[in-house]
Structure 1
Amino acid sequence: MQQYLQACAIIDWRDDAIVSTAQRLAAGSADRETTARRCFEFVRDEIPHSWDLQRNPVTCRASDVLRHKTGFCYAKSHLLAALLRANTIPAGLCYQRLLLDSEQHRYCLHGLNAVHLPEHGWVRIDARGNSGSISAQFVPPQEKLAFPVRGAGEADLPNIYTEPLPVVVEALQRAGDIYQLAGQLPDLQPATCG
């Protein structure tokens, strides 16, 4: 589990603001599941999805997501992993491959998390942010994610990553604004994600 507690350039949980926020969210918590729920709800509800509000800048590092209070799903998953790890709760990054445009057969990755809870083991959680018909919840051991995998070409990628996929980091760091990112969302064929 130690690898799912490490800091890295993107999951920079040793940043003072992340440590402070993580401590505030854990204050008075009876157990890890309660702390994990609070971290999840903070990222889901207090850090808006950039596209929902049409808000720049494009963020990537967890500390930048917290500072600017916005991020695409990938960036929000980076912040959630950082908050959980700062509270010594093992957390990883997960991805789904979803159909973006059926006419042009365009797909993109969707970023979410997995958290390890002693009572349940690994559970995937999705702090993308609720909007319209999207209703992601924290209900271990069940998974209530933002998007179901439905059609051909879509997939729940099976791995729990300790660091973000390079294709995700490159897309976030390359994009000058949310519109540029929306036109170049990262994608991988499921067979290349091992």
Structure 2
Amino acid sequence: MDKKILAVALGALLLSGCASQTETVSEHSSVPVTTTDMQPASTEHSSEPEEATDETRQVTAQAAETAESADASGEGASGVSSEYSSEEEVLQSTQPVPEVTTAAPESTIASATTVQTDAPEPVNVVIPEVRVPLSPGTSTAENDKVRVDYSNSADGYISVRWNETGKRVKLRITSGGSTYDHDVPTGGVTEYYPLSCGSGSYTVQIYEQTDGDRYAKVLEQEFTAEIRSETSPFLYPNRYVAFSQNSACVEKAAQLCAGRSGTIEKTAAIFGWVTDNVSYDRELASTVKSGYVPDPDSVLKKKTGICYDYASLMAAMLRSQGIPSRLVVGYAKESIYHAWNEVWTEQTGWITPELLLSRNGYNIVDATFYAGSADKAKIADYISDSGNYSALYYY
């Protein structure tokens, strides 16, 4: 077999980057709001679960909102076909056409000893002080089983602590017609959740498992949040973007951003490292279970993950550098359940030679698709076209 043809075939196999249709379905069940016994969050109005006998509530599964319809022509503005059924098809469509090149004559190859450069100046790595969510207890709703602390709702988050063990517990946050459902850890662990809908009235409900997929409401609290800014919820760690002062991903981000200034330079450094070093985990994508929660430090160590892991690691590293970053769950065209980031910047600029952050505000940054594509220019066009993405949930 011709060596060039073999190389192209191997490259397409190794760099396909995302799961098949079966893997996409598995990942659909892995996002935090989608569980087998709790209806997924929806951007549409979600009614309260019906009362069941013995004063329990049956929380039923609800189909996730579909993505925006494709262009009538079947082609996105980026020129990448929108007729996709999986993440893998997006990446396969961006494999480059091989070019025929001629090797340079040996006489043009410079000897390694002919060029000398000075050693680079050492860069001082400073790990910044990261934001730490707190539960001061000044505004709470609680009983013997659970405590909800919304004292710091102005910073865009609440905390929940369930004191008992043995049964599953769910948190439901509703605001402005949007509903977010979350698993809650048990055994006295305090966990933090973002107020993703911005300023306004919120209702928080806690449900305890009674039998199978039946849950009883054990607490409900209403409050009004006046959030300091639209970026505040996306600067703090939470259940899905976990990091602390001692996290390995915080240290790595500090190393990558040492000597760099501004949002564009730092985002470029982090995005470049993640897309160069983290590969797609097809085995995890095909076996992932409902309720899967990403761990940025684990992804950093393994250097593999699904799209949810890419987005969580990116968000943790960027937030640790003071750059607001949303972990977004939704659909990429065409109806591909997916996770990506939106990065807030008041600057514009290139974070790779092909990918431009062109908006003042939130810009789409998709590390999964970019890392897995061999044709960076084509996939950058796809990522830059916001019409290829339909967001459902922000974390």
Q: Does TM, scored on the shorter chain, surpass 0.5?
A: yes
Partner residue of 2:331?
A: 97
| Cα pair 2:333 2:389 within 8 Å, conserved | no
CA distance in 2, matches of 1:122, 1:159: 15
Aligned residues: 144
Which of the residues 341, 345, 353 maps onto 1:117? 345
* Code of the aligned partner of 1:2: S
Relative to its length, the structure with more helix (as a share) is: 1
Q: TM-score, normalised by structure 1?
A: 0.63
In structure 1, the residue matched to 2:308 is 74
Q: Deviations over 1:41-76 (max 9, x none)?
A: 11111111113xx67996822121112111011110
Aligned to 2:48: none
Contact 1:92/1:160 (<8 A) preserved: no
- CA drift at 1:24: 0.6
Unaligned runs of 5+ in 2: 1-230, 348-359
Partner of 2:294: 60
How far has the Cα of 1:144 moved from its partner?
A: 4.7
Q: Which residue of 1 aligns with 2:236?
A: 6
CA distance in 2: counterparts of 1:2 and 1:42, whole angstroms: 26
Between Structure 1 and Structure 2, which shows a larger proportion of strand residues? Answer: 2
Higher deviation after alignment, 75-84 or 112-121:
112-121
Q: What amino acid sits opposite 2:326 in the alignment?
A: G
Residue 130 of structure 1, CA deviation: 2.9
Contact 2:330 2:393 in 1 (8 A): no
> What is the rounded CA distance, in whole Å, between the counterparts of 2:284 and 2:384 in structure 1?
20
Q: What's the counterpart of residue 28 of structure 1? A: 259
Cα distance in structure 2, aligned partners of 1:99 and 1:37: 25
Write the distance in 2 (CA, Å) between the matches of 1:28 and 1:42: 16
Shift, 1:157, TM fit: 2.0
1:113-156: CA deviation from partner (whole Å, max 9, x where unpaired): 0000112211001101133456544xxxxx7529986xxxxx62
CA distance 1:76–1:147, change in 2 (3 Å): farther
Larger Rg: 2
Given candidates 126, 132, 138, the residue that maps to 2:366 is: 126
Q: Contact 1:9–1:61 at 8 Å: present in 2 too?
A: no
Q: Residue 279 of structure 2 aligns to a residue in which SS?
A: coil
Amino acid at match of 2:390: L
Q: Say which is worse superposed, 74-83 or 61-70, in terms of deviation.
A: 61-70
Deviation at 1:30, TM superposition (A): 2.5
**What is the identity, as a one-letter code, of the residue corresponding to 1:115?**
V
**Aligned 1:38-57 pairs, distance under 5 A:** 38-51=269-282
Distance 1:4 1:55, change over 3 A: closer
Root mean square deviation of aligned Cα: 2.9
Partner amino acid for 1:72? I
State the 4+ residue runs in structure 1 displaced beyond 3 angstroms.
54-59, 132-137, 146-149
CA 78–160 in structure 1, closer or farther in 2 if over 3 Å, else same: same
Deviates more, 1:4-13 or 1:59-68: 59-68
